[in-house]
Amino acid sequence: MTDAVLAEGVSTTALMITAMRAIETRRPDGLVRDEYAEHFVRHARSGVAMPTRIEDVEGGDAHPVWGRLGAYCALRTRVFDDAVRTAATPQVVLLGAGLDTRVLRLGLPDAVRVFEIDRADVLAFKTEVLDAVGVSGDVRCDRLVVDLADAWDVALLDAGFSPALPTTWIAEGVLPYLPRAVEERVLGLVDRLSAPGSHLGYEVVLGQESPEFRDHELYSGTGDAIGSHLPSLLDDGARPDSAGALRAAGWEIDERPVADYTARYGRGPDPSVDDPIRMSRWVLGSKPQAVRGHRRHEP
């Protein structure tokens, strides 16, 4: 165990996603290979034991949280991993980085600079576990303790981020937790700080404010599975049209349902199942050279 402790609530979901990556890593046909994920699960002080193999889950792949929701999260990680690889920008910013280890497992060129933004407890736990297992990477990674509702842009610039360089921004599993105004401000700042040639990946969870979504076993079952009730952590307001705002600012946006990626990768949540996953959209965007000089006003 470590001295750093994850706070209850949102930070617990970071551990849940890490356990899902550990499960996926142990599959012979896994979409994600994260050899560090299991270390986080093993070192965590959690009131609920989280699995690292699907064989340890009652019901296996039929389990709503560790099976189906796990397949969703594993595919999402792979899609955003590939987005980072393909973009090949000199800077990468992980908004709400959680316990993901992209900086270590993607084989990024040494010249790339990565910035991770998250809560103090998450980044302290992450650093302590990686130090304990003797992990060191060749890519420079600056971990910035700042809430996305606060002046994270100032912290990013102070850490040496250059708005003149193309950047890949990834907000995996974070925007659905933010109030509408905060999401709008976060993506407005991403636009303002992005040089032409920048890229962006995030998810949209349509209908997350509805009782049908919140009461579904995929999400309501997280109380028993991880010790935190996921629906109560998600923002309960209707989501903004962030993709539309980015298009209006000059970004090229590709917004697709999860089923499209299940078909593309040959793995992931079964698209024939009628549940809230069918309402999720993953957004990949790029800021073309044609918008050079354009900057949106900060909200």
Q: What is the pLDDT of residues 134-176, one digit of tens each?
A: 887 789 999 999 999 999 999 999 999 999 999 999 999 999 9
Structure confidence at residue 294 as a pLDDT band (50, 70, 90): very low
Query: What local confidence, expressed as pLDDT, does residue 206 receive?
Result: 86
Is residue 299 included in any domain, yes or no?
A: no
Question: Domain range holding 154?
Answer: 10-291
Is residue 287 included in any domain, yes or no?
A: yes
Query: What local confidence, expressed as pLDDT, does residue 232 receive?
Result: 77
Q: Taking the chain, what is the end-to-end CA distance rounded to the nearest angstrom? A: 42
Residue written as tokens 């990013």? 156
Is residue 4 included in any domain, yes or no?
A: no
Is residue 238 included in any domain, yes or no?
A: yes
Query: What local confidence, expressed as pLDDT, does residue 290 receive?
Result: 60
CATH number where 67 lies:
3.40.50.150
Read off the pTM: 0.92
Is residue 298 included in any domain, yes or no?
A: no
Extract the runs of DSSP E, i.e. beta strands, from the chain. Answer: 91-95, 113-118, 140-145, 167-171, 199-205, 252-257, 280-286
Is residue 190 within 8 A of residue 161, CB to CB? The reply is no
- Provide the number of structural domains found in the chain: 1
Give every CB contact of residue 117 below 8 A, 6+ residues apart in sequence. 93, 94, 95, 96, 97, 144, 146, 148, 152, 155, 156
pLDDT(241) > 60:
yes
Q: If 0-12 CB within 10 Å is exposed, 13-18 middle and 19+ buried, where does residue 236 land? A: exposed
Query: What local confidence, expressed as pLDDT, does residue 281 receive?
Result: 94
Q: If 0-12 CB within 10 Å is exposed, 13-18 middle and 19+ buried, where does residue 113 land? A: buried
Query: What local confidence, expressed as pLDDT, does residue 8 receive?
Result: 67
Mean pLDDT value across the chain: 90
Is residue 172 included in any domain, yes or no?
A: yes
- Kindly report, residue by residue over 242-269, the tens digit of the pLDDT: 999 999 999 999 999 999 999 999 999 9
- Kindly report, residue by residue over 49-106, the tens digit of the pLDDT: 899 999 999 999 999 999 999 999 999 999 999 999 999 999 999 999 999 999 999 9
Query: What local confidence, expressed as pLDDT, does residue 175 receive?
Result: 94
Is residue 261 included in any domain, yes or no?
A: yes
Structure confidence at residue 2 as a pLDDT band (50, 70, 90): low
Query: CA nearest 63: which of 12, 19, 8, 14?
Result: 19
Query: What local confidence, expressed as pLDDT, does residue 4 receive?
Result: 62
Is residue 100 included in any domain, yes or no?
A: yes
Higher pLDDT, 238 or 108: 108
Structure confidence at residue 10 as a pLDDT band (50, 70, 90): low
